[in-house]
Structure 1
Amino acid sequence: MESFLSWEYMPLIPPLLTLVLVIVTRKVGISLGAGIITAAFVIAGGHFGEFFQILIDSFLAIFIEDGGLNTWNAFILIFLTLLGMMTAFMNMSGGAKAFTEWALIKVKTRRGAGLITGFLGILVFIDDYFSALIVGQVAKPITDKYKISRAKLAYFVDTTASPVSVMVPISSWGAGIMGMTAPLLIGAGLDHISPFQGFMYMVPMNFYVIVSIIIMFFVIIFKFDIGPMRKQEDLAVNQGILRDQVPDMAEEDNLPVHVGSSAQALIVPILGLAITVIAAMFISGGIAAGSWTLIDMLENMMITHSLVIGGIVGFVLSLIYYFKHTKSDDNFSGRHILLGIKTGFLAMFPAMLVLTFAWMIGDLITELGTGEVLGGMVESSNLPVALIPAVIFVVACIMAMATGTSWGSFGILIPIAGEIIISLGATELLLPAIAAILAGAVFGDHCSPISDTTILSATGSGSDYIVHVVTQLPYAIVSALIALVGFVVLGYTESVVIALLSLLVCILIVYLIVKFIYRPVPNKSA
C-alpha cells in the first residue's frame, strides 16, 4: 500500500478517482470535475497559486494552441451544434417521421431494426466521430419505432465506430496506425513488410474488435440482454421508456412537426453531410500532402475541418427542406426558425460540456504522465516472452480507460512495445504486440466515461452518457476476457488460426452460458 501511494504512482490517482466516482455516483460532471481538480492539485504539488493557474491553462488549452485557435476541439463543438440544429429542422420538416414510415416498409421486425443499425455502423467506417454521430441519427427513428432502448442503440453505435475504423486501412485511423508502425518494422529488420501489409496482417489479430462485433450480432439476433441493459430493454419494451434520464428533444421543446412531408427531408441532408465530409477528407488530405496518392491523402486528412464543412452543407439542406414543406403550413412562423436553432443547440449542449471536461482531464492526465507510468510497468517487468501480447493488451485496456483516449495509448505504448520486442529479439511478436495495443485501446475507449467517442455515441443515439457506459460495460468486459485468451494462445502458438479458433470456442461457451441463464426480456403487453 505504501509503495502504491508513493509519488511514482500518483499519476494513477486522478483517473482512478474519476472512474470510481462515475461508477458510484453516475454523475459525470461531478466525477470529471473531481478528477480535474485532483489532477491539477497533483501537478501543482499542493501549491494553490499554481493549482488555479493550471486549471485556467487547461481550460484555455482546449481552444487555444500555440497562440492560435485549437481547431480540432473548436470544430468538433461547432459540428455538434450544426448537427443538433440540423436534427431539429429535419424533425420539424417532418422528414424524420416520413423516414420512419418509409423504413417500416423495409424493416418489419425488432431484430431487423437492430441488424440495419449494426450493418450501417460497419459501412460508415471512414471515421469514428463521423460514425458515432451519424449512425445514431439515421437509425434512431427505426429503433424507436420497434422500442429498442436508446442505451442499446448507443451500444450498437459505439461497437461499430472505433472498432471498425481501427480495422480498415482506408480510414482516418488506418493511416495513423500505419505511420506509427513503419519505423518499428524497419527497426525490427522487417523492412520487407510494408506498413500497409503490416496493418493487414494485424487485422485478424485484433481479437477484441472481432469478438465485440460478433457478440453485438448475438445480442441483436438472440436478444441477449444482460446486466443493466436488461433493465433498459424492459423499460423500452413494456413501458415505452426509450431513454433513461434523457428527455426527448422534440417532446421537451414541443417542436411542431409538419404532416405530409417526405423521407427526402431526412435522407438528403444526411447524405449531403456524409458525401461532403468524405469528399472534404480526401481533398483536404491531398492538398495538405501535396500528393494525391491514397496513402498520402489518408495520412493528412483534416478530419474536423471536413466535419464542419459537411455539417454546414447538411444544415443548409435541412433548412431548404424545412422551408419547402412548411411554407404553406399555418402552424409555422418565423419564430420557429429561432426555436429550431435554440433547440438544436440546447440538445447538444450537455454533450459539449462533458466533452470540454473530458478534454481538460485528458490534457492534465497527459501532463501527469499516467500513460508513461503504465507503460513503464510493462517495460520493467520480467515476463515470459509469450505473454507479452496478453500483458500489453491488459495495460492498453487500463491506459485507454484511465485516459479516455485510444490515440494516446497508441502513441505511448506502440513505441514501448517495439523497444521491448526488438531488445528481446522476438520480432515474430512485433505485430501481435501492436495488434494487442490496438485492441486494448479500443476496449478502454469503449468503457471510459471520459472518452470522446463514448460521449459522441451516446449523444448521437440520445442516450445518457453514464447509462451507455454502464450498459455497454458487461458486453465489453466479456469481449475483452475472450480476447485475452486469444492473445495468450497467440503468444504461445504464434498461430493466428489457432488463436481465432480459441476465440470461437470461448464465444460458443459464453453463448451457451448466457442462453442457459438469461431469457429474452418478455413483452408483457403482447
Structure 2
Amino acid sequence: MTVTDSALSLLPPLVAIGLAVLTRRVLLSLGLGILVGALLLNGGHPLTTLGDLASRLLALFWTLPAADDPGLGAPEAWNLSILGFLLLLGAMVALVTLSGGTRAFGEWARRRIRTRRDAQLMTVVLGAVIFIDDYFNSLAVGNVSRPVTDRQGVSRAKLAYLIDSTAAPVCVLMPLSSWGAYLISLIGGILAAHAITGSSALGAFVQVSMLNFYAISALLLVIATAALDLNLGAMSRHEAAARQGRVYDSRRGQPPGNPPVTEHEGGRPRDLLVPIAVLVAGTLIALLVTGAQGLASEGLPFSLLGAFEQTDVALSLLVGGLLGLGTTLALLWSRPAVRANLPRTLWLGLGTMWPAIQILILAWLLTGLIGELGTGAYLAGLVEGVLAPHWLPILLFLLGGLMAFATGTSWGTFGILLPIAGDLAAATDLAMLLPMLGAVLAGAVFGDHCSPISDTTILSSTGAACHHIDHVITQLPYAGLGALVSLAGYLVVGLSGSPLWGLLSCLALLALSIGLLVRRKARLAPQA
C-alpha cells in the first residue's frame, strides 16, 4: 500500500486531533501530527524529514522560484497578510485597552445591555451583520463583544461559540461574501460540465443555500442559545464559572487576545468604536477595490458579485488593520499619559497574538502535508460505487464532515467534493444534484466547526480570547445537534425526493430539540 491516497493518510490528522482533545496541548499535538505526516512522506528518514519540514516552513512565508527561474522568489502574500492582520489587531486592541476605551464601552453598553441574554443576542446580531468574510467576522465581532459579555458574566467559551456559529454559517449562505463568490464559481463550473442551462450559477447557489441544512440549523440554534441561554455539555461548567466572575479558566494562563495592559481613566466609548468602524469600512473598501482590480485584469466589467469573487481577502484585511491601528494612534496621540506607554503597549499587543500565530502556522503546515498525502482524495474515494440515490445526500454530508474535520479546511473540501457530487448526481439522478451539493456544503461547515486544526476555529478562539481546546470541546454538542437534525433532513430528501419536505423536517426536529432543551433547563433550574 502506498502512503498517499490510502488509509495511512488519515494518520497525521488523527494524531493531531486526538492528542489535542486528550492532552489539551494544541502546539504539541499539531507538532506531532506534522512530524508523523512528514515522516510518512519521506519514507521515515529523520534527516530528510527535518530538511523537508524546514523547507515547508520557509515556503509558508517565501515562495521559492522554479528550477529554471534565476530569481529569488517572492513573499507568500496570503499567509504574511493574515499574520500581519493578526499582529495589527493585537496592537490595536492593546492600545484601545490602554486608552480606557474598552472599559468605557463596557460601562456604556452595561447601561443599555442589562442582561446576559442581551449581551449574547448582540453578539449574534453583529455576527450576522458582518458577513463579508469569516476571518474578519471572528476577530472583529470578538473584539467588539468581549467587553460587554465579560461585564454580563458570559464565558469566553460561550462567546467563541456565538462567534463561530455566526461566521462560517452566515458566510456560506450569503452570495456577497468571499465564501459565496468562491462557491458560485465552483457551482457554475459544475453546471457547465453537465450542460445544465436551466439555472444560472447565482440562482443555483441560492437554491443550494436553502438545502444547506447544517448552516441553517446552526444559525437558528445559536439564536435560540443566545435568547434562551441554553448550555449543553461542558458549556454549563464554563457558564457557571463565568457567573462567579471567572470568564475563562485562569489555571491555564492568559488566552490569546487578552492584553495584560493597565487601562487609563478618561476613556470614551468612541476610543473603541471609531477604530473598529474604520477597520470594518477600510476592509470593505479594500475588498471592493482589489476585486475591481481583479476584474479589470481579466477584462471583465465591474459587478459586486464579480468583485467578491476576484477580491484579495488577505490583503484587504491587512489594509483594514493598518487603517484601524492608524486611527487608534491618532485618537490617543493627544493624551500624554497614554502616549508615554505606547511602545510597551504595542509590544504587549503584538505578544498577545503570538500563541494564535503559532497555532495557525502549525495548522497551515499540517494542512499542506495532509493535502500531499491525499487524505481528502482518499476520503472522497470512499463514495465510489455507492449509487443508491436516496442515501447519497446523507453519505456526502458525512463524508464532507469527515473530510473537513480531518483536513481542517472547508474550502478544500468544497473544491474536492463538489465536483464528485456533481458526477454522482449525473450518474444516478440529476434531480438530486442540488440536494447533494447542499449536503456537501453542510457537511464541510459541520466538520470545520468540530476540527481543532481549522483556521476558522482557531480565529474564533482568538477573537473571543478563549483557550482553543475549551472552544472546541464546548462547541461539539451544539455542532452535533445541528448535524443530527441535518441528517434527518437529508434522509427525508432522499426518500421523498422533495427538498422542501427535507427542510421542513429538519426545522421541525430542531424546534422539537430546542423545546426539549428548554424543558430540561426549567426542570434543572430549582436545583441550580
Q: Tell me if TM exceeds 0.5.
A: yes
CA contact (8 A) 1:18 1:35 kept: yes
User: After the TM superposition, which residues 77-226 of structure 1 pair with which residues of structure 2 at under 5 Å, given as runs?
Assistant: 77-226=83-232
Unaligned runs of 5+ in 2: 65-72
3-state DSSP class of the match of 1:226? coil
| Correspondence for 2:414 | 410
In the alignment, the residues of structure 2 paired with residue 184 and residue 266 of structure 1 have an alpha-carbon distance, to the nearest angstrom, of 45
In the alignment, the residues of structure 1 paired with residue 52 and residue 155 of structure 2 have an alpha-carbon distance, to the nearest angstrom, of 41
In the alignment, the residues of structure 1 paired with residue 350 and residue 4 of structure 2 have an alpha-carbon distance, to the nearest angstrom, of 45
In the alignment, the residues of structure 2 paired with residue 136 and residue 520 of structure 1 have an alpha-carbon distance, to the nearest angstrom, of 32
2:61 partner amino acid: F
| Correspondence for 1:15 | 13
Q: RMSD across aligned C-alpha pairs, in angstroms? A: 2.1
Greater CA deviation, 404-413 or 283-292? 283-292
Greater CA deviation, 99-108 or 448-457? 99-108
| Correspondence for 1:314 | 324
In the alignment, the residues of structure 2 paired with residue 107 and residue 337 of structure 1 have an alpha-carbon distance, to the nearest angstrom, of 31
3-state DSSP class of the match of 1:482? helix
**Alpha-carbon offset, residue 491 of structure 1:** 1.9
| Correspondence for 1:432 | 435
CA deviations over 1:483-522 (Å, ceiling 9, x no partner): 1111111122222221122112211332243234445997
CA contact (8 A) 1:11 1:368 kept: yes
In the alignment, the residues of structure 2 paired with residue 200 and residue 465 of structure 1 have an alpha-carbon distance, to the nearest angstrom, of 33
3-state DSSP class of the match of 2:333? helix
In the alignment, the residues of structure 2 paired with residue 249 and residue 466 of structure 1 have an alpha-carbon distance, to the nearest angstrom, of 12
Greater CA deviation, 54-63 or 128-137? 54-63
The one of 449, 473, 477 equivalent to 2:476 is 473
In the alignment, the residues of structure 1 paired with residue 187 and residue 4 of structure 2 have an alpha-carbon distance, to the nearest angstrom, of 34
2:463 partner amino acid: G
Q: How many pairs are equivalent?
A: 515
In the alignment, the residues of structure 2 paired with residue 150 and residue 520 of structure 1 have an alpha-carbon distance, to the nearest angstrom, of 26
CA contact (8 A) 2:184 2:202 kept: yes
CA contact (8 A) 1:224 1:514 kept: yes
Structure 1 residues 4 and 429, CA gap change in structure 2 (3 angstroms): farther
**Alpha-carbon offset, residue 104 of structure 1:** 2.0
Matched, 1:293 2:299: no
Structure 1 residues 269 and 520, CA gap change in structure 2 (3 angstroms): farther
2:44 partner amino acid: G
Structure 1 residues 333 and 497, CA gap change in structure 2 (3 angstroms): closer
| Correspondence for 1:37 | 35
Greater CA deviation, 498-507 or 239-248? 239-248
The one of 298, 307, 312 equivalent to 1:302 is 312
Matched, 1:247 2:254: yes
3-state DSSP class of the match of 1:205? coil
1:159 partner amino acid: S
Greater CA deviation, 39-48 or 392-401? 39-48
| Correspondence for 2:70 | none
Structure 1 residues 5 and 316, CA gap change in structure 2 (3 angstroms): closer
In the alignment, the residues of structure 2 paired with residue 369 and residue 38 of structure 1 have an alpha-carbon distance, to the nearest angstrom, of 14
In the alignment, the residues of structure 2 paired with residue 414 and residue 79 of structure 1 have an alpha-carbon distance, to the nearest angstrom, of 31
CA contact (8 A) 1:238 1:523 kept: no
Structure 1 residues 478 and 465, CA gap change in structure 2 (3 angstroms): same
**Alpha-carbon offset, residue 57 of structure 1:** 2.2
Structure 1 residues 240 and 53, CA gap change in structure 2 (3 angstroms): closer
1:46 partner amino acid: G
In the alignment, the residues of structure 2 paired with residue 441 and residue 518 of structure 1 have an alpha-carbon distance, to the nearest angstrom, of 31
Greater CA deviation, 51-60 or 226-235? 51-60
**Alpha-carbon offset, residue 96 of structure 1:** 1.0
Identity of aligned residues (%): 37
1:405 partner amino acid: T
Structure 1 residues 249 and 91, CA gap change in structure 2 (3 angstroms): farther
Greater CA deviation, 91-100 or 45-54? 45-54
CA contact (8 A) 1:243 1:462 kept: no
Matched, 1:339 2:331: no
2:223 partner amino acid: F
In the alignment, the residues of structure 2 paired with residue 247 and residue 183 of structure 1 have an alpha-carbon distance, to the nearest angstrom, of 46
The one of 394, 418, 424 equivalent to 1:420 is 424
CA deviations over 1:93-115 (Å, ceiling 9, x no partner): 11111111221232111101111
Structure 1 residues 315 and 277, CA gap change in structure 2 (3 angstroms): same
CA deviations over 1:38-68 (Å, ceiling 9, x no partner): 0011111222333222211221221122532
| Correspondence for 1:455 | 458
2:323 partner amino acid: V
2:342 partner amino acid: I
**Alpha-carbon offset, residue 384 of structure 1:** 1.3
**Alpha-carbon offset, residue 249 of structure 1:** 7.8
CA contact (8 A) 2:115 2:152 kept: yes
| Correspondence for 1:235 | 241
CA contact (8 A) 1:249 1:343 kept: no
User: After the TM superposition, which residues 481-520 of structure 1 pair with which residues of structure 2 at under 5 Å, given as runs?
Assistant: 481-519=484-522
CA contact (8 A) 1:187 1:422 kept: no
In the alignment, the residues of structure 1 paired with residue 150 and residue 277 of structure 2 have an alpha-carbon distance, to the nearest angstrom, of 21
1:53 partner amino acid: G
CA contact (8 A) 2:141 2:463 kept: yes
2:254 partner amino acid: P
CA deviations over 1:412-462 (Å, ceiling 9, x no partner): 1011111211122x1111111111111111111111111111111110110
**Alpha-carbon offset, residue 478 of structure 1:** 0.9
CA deviations over 1:364-406 (Å, ceiling 9, x no partner): 000000000000111x232411111110010000000000001
CA contact (8 A) 2:257 2:462 kept: no
Greater CA deviation, 161-170 or 504-513? 504-513
CA deviations over 1:105-155 (Å, ceiling 9, x no partner): 321111011111001100000000000100000001110110000000000
| Correspondence for 2:48 | 50
Greater CA deviation, 409-418 or 57-66? 57-66
Matched, 1:382 2:386: yes
In the alignment, the residues of structure 2 paired with residue 372 and residue 7 of structure 1 have an alpha-carbon distance, to the nearest angstrom, of 6
Structure 1 residues 129 and 5, CA gap change in structure 2 (3 angstroms): closer
3-state DSSP class of the match of 2:164? helix
Structure 1 residues 219 and 355, CA gap change in structure 2 (3 angstroms): same
In the alignment, the residues of structure 1 paired with residue 449 and residue 504 of structure 2 have an alpha-carbon distance, to the nearest angstrom, of 25
3-state DSSP class of the match of 1:256? coil
